[in-house]
Each structure stands twice: as C-alpha cells, then as structure tokens.
Amino acid sequence: MKPLILCSIGRAVTALDALTSREAVEVRRVPILPTLASLDAERATVVIVDRALVHSTAGDLGALTALAAQAALLGVGELGETEPPDGFPTDLLCGFIAADSATLSARVAIQGALRHAAALVAAHRAVRLEDRSATDVHELTKIGVALSTERDLLALLELILSQARRLSGADAGSLYLVQRNDPAPASLRFKLSQNHTLPNLPFSEFEIPIDHTSLAGYAASTSEPLIIPDVYLLPDNVSYKQNRSFDEKFGYRTRSMLVIPMRTHLDEIIGVLQLINRKRTPEARLSSPEVVDREVLPFDTRSVDLVTALASQAAVAIENGRLYEDIERLFEGFVTAAVTAIESRDPTTSGHSSRVATFTCGLAEAIDRVSDGPYRAVRFSKDQMRELRYAGLLHDFGKVGVREQVLVKQKKLYPSDLSIIKHRFQFLLQRADLQYESERAEYLFTYGKDRYADVLANLEHARRGSREELQHFLDAIVRANEPTILPEGTFEELTEINERVFVDFDGVEKPLLSDEELRYLMINKGNLDPRERREIESHVSHTFRFLEQIPWTRALKGIPTIAHGHHEKLNGKGYPRQISGDAIPIQTRMMTISDIYDALTATDRPYKRAVPAERALDILRDEAKEGALDSALLEAFIAAEVFRAR
C-alpha cells in the first residue's frame, strides 16, 4: 500500500508533483484537516499543514494532538517563510518548509515525514500486536481453565472444536482421535463435526488409516500441520487428497483448511484438529460461491499459532479426560463388584441396591424441578448426582459383615429349628398311631372279639382327635412362623402349645413348644428377634466404616455420610446413631424414602408379602405424619411418580 500525503486544496508544494509522477506516493487535496477516524491506521500518512488547515481546527489543539499520534504533520509556510509562524502547533510538527523551498530540500523534508509516518504505523502495529497477543494469551488461559475443569470427554471435544473455530474464525471443523487397535495398527476415529453454515448435518463415526492418503492421516503420521489456501488446488506432488463427496452431497465449498495434530506433553499424537474456511465475518454463512469468494480467507500465522497452542492444551485435556474415563470405568467396575458381592450373600434382595439408586436419583431430579416449598432453591450438580447414585448402590455393602444365616433368614424360625419342630410332631403323630395299635392289640389279647367293634371305634376316635390336635398345633406354628410387615397377632394359641408337654425318647417330659421357639414365633413384626435385628442393623455401621476407608475424590467424599444415615428417622427413632432433623442430609432423607418403598414393594423377598404401591405410599405417608420421614420430599416422590422408575 502506497504512503498517503494529504495537502490543502490550492497549496503548491515543490517536489509533490515529482513524488506523485513516480507513483511513490498518493497525494490527495483536502479542504479541512482530516479526522483521526478518516485515516487508515495501517497506511503511512503525511499531512501537510498550512494556515488554512490549522484554522480549520478552530483552535482545537486536541484534534491536532490526536492526529499527530497517527500521521506525520509537516508544516508549510508562505513564500520565504522558513520558520513556523505564531499559532502553528510547533511541538506536533516533524518538520517545516517554505512554500517556495528548493525541490531537493522539500523532497528531503517530505521523505523524512514519510519515514516518521512509517514509524508511527510500525509503533501502532506493535502496540496492537502486543494488545492482541495479550488478548490471545488471556483467551488461551481461559480456554485452558475450561478444558482442565471439563471431565466429560464428549463435552470436552465439543469445547475444543468450538474454541478452535472461534479463535481462528473457521466456519467448520472436525476432530479425530487416535484409536488404539492392538495388535492392529492405530487409526483415526472421526469423533466430532461442527459447521456454522450447515448446523444440522447428520453425523456418524468412522475410522481412517494413519497414513499419507488423507489430510488428517498425513498430519497424524508426520506430526506436522497442513496450511492449505484452497484444497481444490492441491499441488500434483502431494500424496494426500481432499474428498469432495461431502461438498457435492451438501452443496458446500471447502476452501481454506488448517489441519493441526494434537500432541501430548510426551510428544504422542492423540488426535487431529481440522478447521475449514477461515472467514472475514465470523457470523457469515457460506451460502453461495459468491459469499465464499468474498468471505473465505487463508489461515494466517496468528491462526496457526493460536490453534497450535490450543491443540497442545487440548491433547493434554483429552488425555486427562480419557484417564478420567478409565478411572470412572474402574470405579464402576468396583461398584458393580461390590453390589454383586452383596447380592451373592443375600440373593433374595437382588436388584434392591440398583432400584434404591434409581429412585433416589429420580427424586433428586424431581427436587431440581420444584418451584415452591422448602426445597425450591435446592439444585443438584452433575457431581452430586454421581455421588448420590454411588451412595445408593453401596448403601447396603455393610451386609458383608453380617452372619449369613441372619442375613438370609426368611421366616421367624431358622429352617433347622422348624425342621426339628416338624420332626417332633411327626414323632408324636407316629406315637399316637403306635399307641392306637398297642391298645387295640392288648384288648384283643385280653378280651378277644367281645365288644371289639365298639372299643375299636373309641380307639379310632381318640387317635383321630390326637392327630387333629397335633396337626392343628403344627399348622398354628407354621402360620405364626410367617413374618408380618406391620405388628399383628396375639399368640394365645402359641402360649397354649408351649404349656402342653410330651415325653421324649429318653422319657423326659418337655414342652411341646420350647421357650426359645416360642420367643421367635412371638415376634410380632418382621422375622428377627432383637438380637438378630441389632446384628442386621449393624450393616449400616459396617457400610460406613468400609466406605470411609476409600480415598474418595472431592466430588464424591460425601458418599460414606449419605449411606451411613439411610435408616435414620427425622424424629430420632432410627439407627444407628438416632440422629434427627437437619443432622440428616437431604440426600440421605431421599435415600431413606427410596429404601423403605423398595423394601415394602419388592416381590423378591420370600420372608414377606409384597405390598401394592398404593399401600406402600400410605405407609410412607403415615411415617411422615409421625415425623419419621420428610413430608416435602415424600410428596415430591409421589407427585413425580418416581416410584414407577424401576
């Protein structure tokens, strides 16, 4: 771009015509002093200032001062006037000549002014470059922070590509990740695409080889960037080619392209960033060939530097993201193994942990949506939802520390105890038969057949009465052995059985039902006596002690506390610590509701009957009325029908 000299209309200055005729500069005549906004900051400009132009500022020294910061001001006087007259801005001038100065002198003065103007342009350019560099560093720092905090790999890739496009002004872009295929050679997997002009493009992943046949493959295999002004005009001697099928299918025109390999701190290529069509106007849509011709620019050095810096940050972030995913998979495997261990010890509760986790997370999502009530301001972050899910899955892990016979106990009596009782009654039934046969034979031996039919009828009646009574007692014991969800039963009949005696094999008189057996059968709720219940309840403490040993991340550190309190009640009547009110975290309160509901409605518990959903909700409402459960959370659980999410 030629330098510009601005001169007052009608002002004759020696040497100007000679400079113009040689096309070294462009000269324009102006009626008034130019404004700063009318000048091109990238063009060396000299303003020849005479009295007419000075007077046109109406004494506005500020305008002249601002102008002198961007353009060289060369003063010109009248004929024979070699010094600036009064009123001239002497301090702002880079030189002064008389109107009739010799051509050589005038030329030297003008050339000096042109050099000063070029220096001003260079200085402004340096300042702008410094400002832009500072802005670029600031932008890259912000992006680096964003990349370091994003742990979801897909979201991370979206962020990388969108920021690369923003920094470079690219209309479109794609991102490939290196796919390790041991023992087969590694390849590039197409993971993401963005296009401002065509935002709703269909997407599907595919793989390409890491070789010199494709642009991305070439960049990955050579570790070198590709900067291409027009991919349709590639030199004949290059090995890579641009596949035009996309452009032909969707009516797009791919022109300028920047392909940057993403290299980790260990100098390992982890992926390729491909940017397409750098634009003059970021928001422009490349809707026609004419728009493409007008808007699309080659990627410049600044774009390459910025995207290369971003690619380095991105590679580290992707590597960290993959590592985080590996850790997540490892932890998921651990949790799955832990749940499997729980359920292998107690197969009757299979699926309980998963359902409690599902219900609890569903309730948290419902609370996120409420707009009134005590929890209207409560919102759960992504990390808190993960924490809640893991706490739900692991809340019963402490059952591994409970004796198996107690853990899997299905009835009030252990199977071996009920078997002993049944054998006892079978012995007594057989004894009744034996007594019948003995008395019948003794009568025949003593009295013969005299009145034998009447005696036999009486003996048969007595035997039948004895057998029916024993069977009635046994049926009562079997019925009493069934657990109940709510307290019920008076057990008078069991007491009567306990008071009856029989003589065993050794001739020792014993109660028909022992005191220990009676104690178990008289459990009026559930199937556990107080000692067994304390042992089962200890699983909560076992869970807490186990989970507390795990070095949780900061985002998951609340898991032990959340799981620890899932049997606590708001009224302090829960266990193991009998804490109440606000001492119980909201996450734990939600888990308590979910745990009770699933325990009531589960169909896989042989020690109790499943309760219909409506009845289970009524029981939960009763608990809430008694102050045991959080009524606001329960109503959200019911209103959102969280209980249907199985």
Residue 134 has a pLDDT of 65
Share of the chain above pLDDT 90, in %: 44
The three-point CA angle 585-586-588 to 5° equals: 65
For residues 590 and 359, what is the distance between their CA atoms, to the nearest angstrom?
9
Q: Do residues 412 and 480 lie in contact, with contact meaning Cβ atoms separated by under 8 Å?
A: yes
SS3 label, residue 569: coil
DSSP 71: S
For residues 615 and 434, what is the distance between their CA atoms, to the nearest angstrom?
51
Taking 60 as the threshold, does the pLDDT of residue 489 lie above it?
Answer: no
Q: Do residues 317 and 146 lie in contact, with contact meaning Cβ atoms separated by under 8 Å?
A: no
C-beta neighbour count of 41 within 10 angstroms: 13
Least Cα distance to 392 among 554, 583, 597 occurs for 597
Q: Per the structure block, which two tokens stand in for 199?
A: 């935002």
The CATH class given to the 346-405+531-644 domain equals: mainly alpha
The CATH class given to the 4-127 domain equals: alpha beta
For residues 157 and 274, what is the distance between their CA atoms, to the nearest angstrom?
13
* pLDDT tens sequence across 262-305: 988 778 899 999 999 999 998 999 999 999 999 999 999 988 98
Domain chopping of the chain, boundaries:
4-127, 151-323, 346-405+531-644, 415-527
The full 3-state SS of 460-509, as one line of letters, equals: HHHHHHHHHHHHHHHHHHHHHCCCECCCCCCCHHHHHHHHCEEECCCCCE
* pLDDT tens sequence across 385-423: 999 999 999 999 998 888 888 887 888 999 999 999 999
For residues 459 and 282, what is the distance between their CA atoms, to the nearest angstrom?
108
For residues 477 and 500, what is the distance between their CA atoms, to the nearest angstrom?
14
Q: Do residues 562 and 585 lie in contact, with contact meaning Cβ atoms separated by under 8 Å?
A: yes
Instruction: Kindly give the pairing relationship between strand 269-279 and strand 257-263.
Output: antiparallel
Q: Per the structure block, which two tokens stand in for 222?
A: 């050579």
* pLDDT tens sequence across 20-69: 555 678 888 888 888 888 888 888 999 988 888 777 766 667 778 888 88
Q: Do residues 15 and 60 lie in contact, with contact meaning Cβ atoms separated by under 8 Å?
A: no
pLDDT band, residue 578 (cuts 50/70/90): very high
Q: Per the structure block, which two tokens stand in for 218?
A: 């070439």
Of all helices (H) and strands (E), which one includes residue 89?
none
pLDDT band, residue 567 (cuts 50/70/90): very high
Phi, psi dihedrals of residue 128, rounded to the nearest 5°: -65, -40
SS3 label, residue 592: helix
For residues 48 and 100, what is the distance between their CA atoms, to the nearest angstrom?
14
Q: Do residues 91 and 71 lie in contact, with contact meaning Cβ atoms separated by under 8 Å?
A: no
Q: Per the structure block, which two tokens stand in for 262?
A: 């993403």
Q: Compute the mean pLDDT over every residue in the chain, rounded to the nearest whole number.
A: 87
The full 3-state SS of 391-459, as one line of letters, equals: HHHHCCHHHHHCCHHHHCCCCCCCHHHHHHHHHHHHHHHHHHHHHHHHHHHHHHHHHCCCCHHHHHHHH
Taking 60 as the threshold, does the pLDDT of residue 212 lie above it?
Answer: yes
Residue 229 has a pLDDT of 96
Q: Do residues 547 and 342 lie in contact, with contact meaning Cβ atoms separated by under 8 Å?
A: no
- What is the DSSP annotation of 258-284? EEEEEE-TTS-EEEEEEEEEEESSTT-
pLDDT band, residue 136 (cuts 50/70/90): low
Q: Per the structure block, which two tokens stand in for 342?
A: 């729980």
* pLDDT tens sequence across 252-261: 999 999 999 9
Instruction: Kindly give the pairing relationship between strand 170-179 and strand 187-195.
Output: antiparallel
Taking 80 as the threshold, does the pLDDT of residue 133 lie above it?
Answer: no
Cα four-point dihedral sign 577, 582, 587, 589? positive
Residue 487 has a pLDDT of 58
For residues 317 and 511, what is the distance between their CA atoms, to the nearest angstrom?
76
Share of the chain above pLDDT 70, in %: 94
Q: How many residues in the chain?
A: 646
Give whole-number Cα distances, 152 to 202, 231, 291, 382, 568, in Å: 22, 33, 37, 11, 35
Residues forming a β-bridge with 297: 278
Residue 55 has a pLDDT of 76
Phi, psi dihedrals of residue 262, rounded to the nearest 5°: -95, 115
Letter string b/e over residues 177-207, b meaning 16 or more CB atoms within 10 A of that residue's CB: bbbeeeeeeebbbbbbbbbbbbeeeeeeeee
Q: Does residue 576 have a cis peptide bond before it, meaning omega lies within 30 degrees of 0?
A: yes
**Superfamily of 151-323 according to CATH:** GAF domain (3.30.450.40)
Q: Do residues 7 and 27 lie in contact, with contact meaning Cβ atoms separated by under 8 Å?
A: yes
Residue range 103-119: mean pLDDT, rounded = 86
pTM metric for this prediction = 0.61
